[in-house]
Amino acid sequence: MALDEADHRLFVATRSPARLAVFDTNSGHLITALPCPQDSDDLYYDSARRRLYVSGGEGYIGVFQQKGADSYALLANIPSAVGARTSAYFGKLGKKGFDRLYVAVPARAKRGAEVWIYTVQD
């Protein structure tokens, strides 16, 4: 789950069915539900860009754009790896102030476990 306090929106990634659900925290009503990566584990709200990042074991990261408090759209599906669902988002790291999304990739038969680092850009 993630929270947009300014617009009073709660974001929830569900697994069955795989959806990004958006709720109004004032009324409790469902605003919308969009398909998202299956087997999701983590969800982050980037208030500066008004984006949501959903990591899922299906093999990609769903990136959603918030167009307004009640309007959301899929911006991109960024490839990751099957089973890579655990992630962490950190804003403004490093000397250049890039935001980073870290995704844990589990070990497979021919490869050890890894952490993939994605740089978030405008």
Task: Give per-residue pLDDT as tens, 44-97.
Answer: 999 989 999 999 999 999 999 999 999 999 999 999 999 999 999 998 765 666
> What are the angstrom distances between the C-alpha of 115 and each of 6, 44, 61, 107?
32, 17, 14, 10
> What are the beta bridge partners of residue 95?
none
> What are the beta bridge partners of residue 56?
40, 60
Least Cα distance to 76 among 94, 49, 99, 98 occurs for 49
Number of structural domains (the chain) is 1
Q: Which domain holds residue 111?
A: 2-120
Q: At 98, list the tokens.
A: 């890039």
* CATH code at position 9: 2.130.10.10
Cβ–Cβ under 8 Å, residues 60 and 77: yes
Q: Are strands 30-35 and 98-105 parallel, antiparallel or unpaired?
A: unpaired
pTM of the entire structure? Answer: 0.92
Rounded Cα gap, residues 10 and 115, in angstroms: 28
pLDDT, position 60: 96
pLDDT, position 86: 95
Contacts of 109 (CB under 8 A, 6+ apart): none
pLDDT tens profile 14-57: 999 999 999 999 999 999 999 999 999 999 999 989 999 999 99
pLDDT, position 107: 95
